[in-house]
Amino acid sequence: MCSTLPTDTHLALAMLKLTMPASLQYVGHLFGVGKATTREAILEASQLTMACLEHCPPDSLLSIPAVCPLSSRCTQTI
């Protein structure tokens, strides 16, 4: 059974993949995970980010970390 990746690793994978035109295999290699795990982590982090942006009031977009579902202060279940 595979262990789950920490949230910070999900975010790091997503940010790295979104900022550089690299393959999933290369990005996964940097973190010691497979291509499928990398893809799942990127999709999950992207979905949570989009959900955060959809539920944030427009004036709070400058303080997304305070209200984002990825933070420990989340009150929503996604």
Residues 15-60: tens digit of each pLDDT: 888 888 888 899 999 999 999 999 998 888 888 878 777 766 666 5
* Residue 51: partners with Cβ closer than 8 Å, 6 or more residues away: 69, 76, 78
21 three-class SS: coil
Q: Tokens standing for 72? A: 């420990």
pLDDT above 50 for 73: no
* Residue pair 49/56 in contact by the 8 Å Cβ criterion: no
pTM of the model as a whole: 0.64
- Structure-block tokens of residue 40: 């799942």
Whether 70 shows a pLDDT value over 70: the answer reads: no
pLDDT at 1: 39
Are 52 and 68 contacting, i.e. CB atoms less than 8 angstroms apart?
yes
